[in-house]
Structure 1
Amino acid sequence: MLDRLDLLVIGECVADIVRLPGAADRIHPGGSPANVAYGLARLGHDATLLTQLGPDTNGQLIRDHLAGAGVDVRTDGSTAPTPSAAVTLDGAGHAAYTFEITWTLGPVSPDRPPAHVHTGSIAAVTEPGAATVRSAVESLRAVATVSYDPNVRPELMGDHEAAVRKAEFCVALSDVVKASDEDLEWLYPGQAPEKVAERWLATGPAVVLVTRGGDGAFAVLPDGQVTVGALPTEVVDTVGAGDAFMSGTLHALAAHGLLGAAGREGLRSLDRATVTDVLRHAAAAAAVTVSRAGANPPDSAELAAALGRM
C-alpha cells in the first residue's frame, strides 16, 4: 500500500492578492497546481512542483510558503515576473479573479521518475508553456498515474474551441480527472455535468469526479455514479477549495494503493465503497479549506478531525 506518495505536480504558482471591501489587500501564495502540491505535502507526501517563479518579492513569498510544507520546488530558470491574480471576495466569500499571467515553462526533467503526475489549470492551456506540460505528461505516463483538473479561468482560456481540445487531450491522458460543475458549464454550455463526465470517462480515465460546491460532489465510474454531500461548515472564502479536494482525492487514492504504475490496474476496477471513501476525504479537505482564509488545506490531523464530523 502506498501511504507516502512521490508526486510530481506541473503547473503555475500565482500570488493571490485578496481584496475585501473596506480592508487592506492581503497576498496569499496560490495557483491551483501549487496549492495541490502544498496540500499533498501537508498530508505527508513527497511532493515536487515543477513551475516558474520570478526573482521578485512574490516569488520568494511563494517559494518560502511551499518549502515550509516540504514541497521540493523546481523551476526552469525563467526571470519573468511571478504571476499574480487579484481575488475579489463578495459577501458570501465567493471569489472573482483578475490575472497577470505569463507561462513559458521550458523543459525540465525530474531527478527521479514520480509515482504520480498531476497537472491542470492555466498551465495546461496557456502557450507556450502548455506544450511543455502536455509533452511531459505524455512521456511520464508510462511510469506514473496521471491526474488532471481543468480549473477553468475564463479570462485566460483563449479561444473556446482550442481550450476544449486541450482539455479533452489532457482528460484522455489521465487516470483521474476532477472538475467543478462551473468548469464543465464553461467548456460545454448547457450540457448536464453528469453527461459530460460520462463522455470524458469513455475517453480513458478510470474515474471522473465533479464538485458542486455546497451541494457536494459525485464520481462517475463505468458502472454508475457515487455521490457524497458537502461537510457543513462556516465559509470564510472558497479560494483553494477545489485544490484541497484534489489533494484529498490523491491522498485517499494513495492510501488505498491506487496510485503509481502498479496501482493503475486497481484504479480500473474501483469499487463503490472505495470511491465513497475517496470522496469523503476530498470533501472533508475542501471543508477545512473554506473555513479559513486563503488556500490553506488541512494537515493529516485536521483532515482526520473533519472526517470524524462527516
Structure 2
Amino acid sequence: MLDRLELLVIGECVADIVRLPGAADQVHPGGSPANVAYGLAGLGHDATLLTQLGPDGNGRLIRDHLARAGVDVRTDGATAATPSAAVTLDGAGRATYTFEITWTLGPVALDRPPGHVHTGSIAAVTEPGAATVAAAVDSLRTAATVSYDPNVRPELMGDHEAAVRKVERCVALSDVVKASDEDLEWLYPGQEAGRVAERWLATGPAVVLVTRGADGALAVLPEGRVTVDALPVDVVDTVGAGDAFMSGTLHALAAHGLLGEAGRERLHTLDRATMTDVLRHAAASAAVTVSRAGANPPDGAELEAALGRM
C-alpha cells in the first residue's frame, strides 16, 4: 500500500431514517461521500471528509460515528440543519429515498494536500455547494488522482439535460468513475450501460466501473471489459452498498500503488489482472455491507474474510 496516502472525500452527510413495515424508525449515519470516507478509514486509510453538519442531534450522531472510525471531519461552519433522508425498504431490502437537504458548502482550507480526492452524489450537482466542490477538485487534481460516483438521486437532480451535463463534466475531471446500472439508466434511458461506460472512458478516466447489483460489476478499460460476479449473501438491505464498493475499489487501487500523483500514470495503463483483483475487493466490500443493516462497510479483517469466500 502507498505509505500514508492522504485521501480526501468531499460531499454530504445525511441522516438516513430507515422505515420498515411494522417497526419503529431507525436513524443511521449516511450520505454517500460520508459512507466512502467511513469505509476508507475502517480499512486503515487516512481519510478526511470535507462536508456540512448542523449543530443538531443528527449532526452529532454523524460526527461521532465518523470520529469513531478515525475520519477527520472538516466543515465550513454552516449551521443549517443536518440533511436527512427517509429510507423505505421493500421486501427484498431495496431502498428508496425521500430527501430533506440543502448543500451550500463554502471553501475550507486544508492542512495538507491530499494524494487522492473522491466526490460525487448530491454534493457534485446541487448548487450553490456544487460550485465549491468543482473548484476544489479542479485545483487539487494536478497533484492528486480523482474518483467520482454520480449516485443519482432523481428527485434532487433538477432538469435532466442540465444534470447530464454536470455529471459528464465531473466524469471528464476524474481518473476513476463508478456508477450503478440504475444511475446510467436514469441518465441515458434505454442505452446499454457498458456502451455508456465506454463513452465516458473516452473523455478522460482511466477506468469506468458499473455496479449491477446481484449481477456483479463491470469495469471498462481502454483494452476492454472486465467483469466480476457478486458474492452471494443474504441481503438485509442495500443501503450503502455502492459506497462500500467505492471504498473497496479505492482501498485496492491504493494497495496496488495506483493512486496519487506517483500512481496516476500506472493507473491509466491498468491491466486486466490488476483490475480483476480491484473488482474482487470492491464486490466483497459491498457484499459485507448488504448482509447487515445500514451503511456499515467492512473493516480489513471482514474484507479479507469475504474475499476468502469468493
TM bin, normalised by shorter chain, reads over 0.9
Structure 1 residues 55 and 164: alpha-carbon distance in aligned structure 2, compared to 1, 3 A threshold: same
Report the secondary structure of 1:158's partner residue: coil
Q: Percent identity?
A: 87
Q: Contact 1:3 / 1:255 at 8 angstroms: preserved in 2? A: no
Superposition deviation, residue 199 in structure 1: 0.2
Q: What amino acid does structure 1 have at the position aligned with 2:87? A: V
Superposition deviation, residue 5 in structure 1: 3.2
Is the counterpart of residue 166 in structure 1 residue 154 in structure 2?
no
Q: What amino acid does structure 1 have at the position aligned with 2:61? A: L
Q: What residue is the counterpart of 1:114 in the other structure? A: 114
Q: What residue is the counterpart of 2:259 in the other structure? A: 259
Q: What residue is the counterpart of 1:87 in the other structure? A: 87
Is the counterpart of residue 13 in structure 1 residue 13 in structure 2?
yes
Superposition deviation, residue 110 in structure 1: 1.4
Deviations, residues 18-72 of structure 1 (Å, cap 9, x unaligned):
0000000000000000000000000000000000000000000000000000000
Superposition deviation, residue 6 in structure 1: 1.2
1:40-119 alignment, distance < 5 Å: 40-119=40-119
Counterpart-to-counterpart distance in 2, 1:304 and 1:6:
23
What CA RMSD, in Å, does the superposition of the two structures yield over aligned residues? Answer: 0.6
Q: Contact 1:4 / 1:44 at 8 angstroms: preserved in 2? A: no
Counterpart-to-counterpart distance in 2, 1:158 and 1:135:
21
The normalised TM-score by structure 1 is 0.99
Deviations, residues 143-185 of structure 1 (Å, cap 9, x unaligned):
1000000000001001111110110000000000000000000
Deviations, residues 106-140 of structure 1 (Å, cap 9, x unaligned):
01121100000000000000000000000100000
Report the secondary structure of 2:263's partner residue: helix
Q: What amino acid does structure 2 have at the position aligned with 1:252? A: A
Superposition deviation, residue 4 in structure 1: 4.3
Where structure 1 has 5 or more consecutive residues not aligned to the other structure, the ranges are none
Is the counterpart of residue 180 in structure 1 residue 188 in structure 2?
no
Q: Contact 1:13 / 1:82 at 8 angstroms: preserved in 2? A: yes
1:115-130 alignment, distance < 5 Å: 115-130=115-130
Counterpart-to-counterpart distance in 2, 1:113 and 1:294:
32
Q: Contact 1:49 / 1:71 at 8 angstroms: preserved in 2? A: yes
Moved over 6 A (4+): none
Counterpart-to-counterpart distance in 1, 2:268 and 2:142:
16
1:131-142 alignment, distance < 5 Å: 131-142=131-142
Counterpart-to-counterpart distance in 1, 2:224 and 2:2:
27
Counterpart-to-counterpart distance in 1, 2:158 and 2:110:
29
Q: What residue is the counterpart of 1:239 in the other structure? A: 239
Q: What residue is the counterpart of 2:209 in the other structure? A: 209
Is the counterpart of residue 225 in structure 1 residue 225 in structure 2?
yes
Q: Contact 1:144 / 1:260 at 8 angstroms: preserved in 2? A: yes
Q: What amino acid does structure 2 have at the position aligned with 1:20? A: L
Q: Contact 1:4 / 1:254 at 8 angstroms: preserved in 2? A: no
Question: How many residues were matched structurally?
Answer: 310
Counterpart-to-counterpart distance in 2, 1:132 and 1:109:
12
Q: What amino acid does structure 2 have at the position aligned with 1:275? A: M
Deviations, residues 235-278 of structure 1 (Å, cap 9, x unaligned):
00000000000000000000000000110000011110000000
Q: What amino acid does structure 2 have at the position aligned with 1:31? A: G
Q: What amino acid does structure 2 have at the position aligned with 1:220? A: V
